[in-house]
Amino acid sequence: MTSYRPPLDGIRVLELGSSVAGPAAGRLLADLGAEVIKVENDEGDGLRTWGPPAPDGTSWWFKSHNRNKRFVRFDLHAEPDRATVRELALRCDVVLENFRPGRLEAWGLGYDALRIDNPRLVYASISGYGQDGPYRDRAGFGNIAESMSGLRYVTGFADAPPVRVGISLADELAALYCVVGIQAALLARERDGVGDYVDVSLLEASVAVTQGMLPEYDALGVVRERSGNSHVAVAPSNIYPTRDGRWIAIGANANSLFRRFADAIGRPELADDPRYRGNRERTEHGAEIDAIVAQWTRLHDAAEADAILAAAGVPAGPVNSIADIVADEQVRARGVVRHLEDDAGNRIATTAPVPRFRVHPTVSHHAARAVGADTADVLDELRIGGAS
């Protein structure tokens, strides 16, 4: 049987990022087989101190978030180290960075400076607002982008303040769009022989997933408001309380699904009720339908309700904590949770690479390493002198 390499094997990436968005993009590229060389100063990426620490003092999050990378230590404020990093960049296919716009240009490490000697370079920047425009020089963080993009405006209940999603959503979205851009630029490079500049902003990545909000406003002047857990365009689609104090999500919003749901709960007449016959009618009477659904779910434990609806072909699933996720049979069967070792042999829980491939393998080698752990090896392999 033929053995194939990971999809991005042979692609070398220099990561000049910190915190969440840039390193998340680097992690995704490393999962796909790219050699990702992460540059840190003596103190290391600030994310090393976010959250509960592992035995060596580095956060568990950092060890998972920066898996499969190589770690080199250079101080970009020091000219000798900048010169070495420039040499590294010129030996790479991709430079990935999330500094404030203009910072790397001032250090001679911007795209225009590097592409002179490496015209095939793909250079990817993640910033708060993009590389131009009136907000270009503002500091940008995910929570600000989520707020300014409208994501938080529509998240929460109508009678309560906007709320955040429980993770750094804007950063992860920007990372995903950045990786899409990098892969597209690499593919175009094979066709055209030149690299490109990939410009991703946290704000635009967040606006890009607002779905119908923009066309509805542009055409109808509709400003979507917070609607809690109900869906503004379909019904029933909500989360409902169960007998055991948990919650279950149910999406029986298509006509055929609603009929299956009605049969499953012993109320087949609901599907023929004129108030609920089509999606528009059900949405207009969404509060009534939610009350009917909740009346049924309260009679069952979450697992029981889930089993009944699964057997009926109705999309449903419990609202899971991380403990529930780890125990979930689908998660376990698919190997979603994996363990990698760090330098000291500590087992670090992390997620399996996404997406999966039938032919080409992805990478799960090791958790994040210590600051500068690979500096000497990387410089030796690439025949670069001047390490500090």
How many CB atoms sit inside 10 A of residue 142's CB?
A: 24
Q: How far apart are CA 348 and CA 96, in angstroms?
A: 25
Q: Indicate if 343 belongs to the active site.
A: no
User: 131 near 204, Cβ under 8 Å?
Assistant: no
Q: Is the dihedral angle over the CA atoms 82, 84, 90, 96 positive or is it negative?
A: negative
What is the Rg, in whole angstroms, of the alpha carbon atoms belonging to the chain? 25
221: left (phi over 0), alpha (psi -120 to 50) or beta: left
Cβ neighbours around 326 below 10 Å, total? 13
Q: Do the Cβ atoms of 26 and 16 come closer than 8 Å?
A: no
Instruction: Give the bridge partners for 196, in sequence order.
Output: 122
Q: Which of 31, 93, 171, 199 is catalytic?
A: 171
- Distance separating alpha carbons of residues 17 and 24, to the nearest angstrom: 9
Cα dihedral 236/237/241/245 (nearest 10) = 150
DSSP letter for 79, please: H
Query: Are the C-beta atoms of residues 342 and 368 closer than 8 Å to each other?
Result: yes
CA quadruple 23, 25, 26, 28: dihedral positive or negative?
A: positive
Q: What is the DSSP letter of 53?
A: B
Q: Which amino acid is at 14?
A: L
Which tokens belong to 58? 């580095």
Sheet holding 70-73, edge to edge: 70-73, 35-40, 12-16, 94-97, 122-127, 196-201
Please identify every residue annotated as catalytic.
171
